[in-house]
Amino acid sequence: MWPTLRTDAPLAHLCWAPARGDGARTVLLLHGVGGGRESWGDAISGTGRAIAEAGFRVVAADLPGYGDSTLVNPYDLRHMAEAVRALIDWLGPAPLALVGHSMGGMVAQELMAGSPQRVAALVLAGTSPSFGRPGGTWQQAFLAQRLAPLDAGRGMAKLAPGLVAGMAAPRAPHDAVARSALLMAAVPEATYRKALAAIAGFDRREALAGLRLPVLCLAGADDRNAPPAVMQQMAARIAGAEYVCLPGVGHLSHMEAPQAVNPVLVDFLQRRYP
């Protein structure tokens, strides 16, 4: 089962046809700041294939500015969510399931605020409902720390290995960390800068109580970027949400521990997106 690359859509994406069934149920995968469509592919996580083998059509998108997708202007979460909504409309009229990791989870929450009718089930993995106040001291320190190597001229290729190692769990497989670092190194520096600025002021905490669909909040016990306590609190504010915390898993969940993450995703989708 090989995915098809589509670049003629509102967002470039990989698409896996279902191993069985008619493909009427679609699962859309959204990556994080240092990712791209390939984070869900066979070489890194196998998530797209695993979900397709369970009978779903699976689409792994390049968010704006990543891979073969063009930038949006202004580059903020609202306009990123509008680009995702355009892709959803392009994919067909039926509501789909949305899986968002890290920044992708924030884009998913932003989409739900404007187009909840387009989503039938939602997975929020290693993400948060807020990043604090725009311009706050913590946000400024975060941006300064993340951008310092780039400001010093080191580039994404030199920034990625250390940053990815710090996000993964201490016992994450070395080859998984290395593959994730190569993926981050390929992100255009301009896109990475814009994406960090976009998430720094994100806050959709007040929208959580209004979500009226099946939701899974998936955390990694060793995730320091989206700590389990934060994700558990997020799940508690969503009526009927499920919360799963995977031991020994860091922020790069599906990339560092696909053997733990993929079965959880498939189980949730089979039960809650019938």
pLDDT computed for residue 81 by the predictor:
98
In which band, very low, low, confident or very high, does the pLDDT at 24 lie, cut at 50, 70 and 90? confident
Nearest to 274 by CA among 40, 27, 16, 105: 27
The pLDDT tens digits of the residues spanning 212-270 come to: 999 999 999 999 999 999 999 999 999 999 999 999 999 999 999 999 999 999 999 99
Torsion over CA: 231, 174, 40, 187 (sign): positive
Helix axes 137-151, 155-167, angle to 10 degrees: 130
What is the 8-class DSSP label of residue 100?
E
Q: Is the pLDDT of residue 53 over 80?
A: yes
Percentage of the chain beyond pLDDT 90 is: 89
CA separation for the pair 88, 10 (Å, rounded) = 9
Which residue ranges form the domains of the chain, and what is each CATH number? 4-272 (3.40.50.1820)
Average pLDDT score over residue span 72-86: 97
Which helix (DSSP H) or strand (DSSP E) does residue 4 occupy? strand 4-6
Q: Is the peptide bond before 64 cis (omega within 30 degrees of 0)?
A: no
- The dihedrals phi and psi of 242, each to the nearest 5 degrees, come to -95, 145
56 in Cβ contact with 18 (< 8 Å): yes
Return the higher-pLDDT residue of 113 and 142.
113
The kind and range of the H/E element at 199 are: helix 189-200
Sorting pLDDT into bands at 50, 70 and 90, what band is 138? Answer: confident
61-73, pLDDT tens digit by residue?
Answer: 999 999 999 999 9
Reported for 85-90, long-range contacts at CB under 8 A and 24+ positions apart, including other chains, are 85/111, 85/114, 85/115, 85/118, 86/10, 86/11, 87/9, 87/10, 87/11, 87/13, 87/28, 87/59, 87/61, 88/28, 88/115, 88/118, 89/10, 89/118, 90/9, 90/10
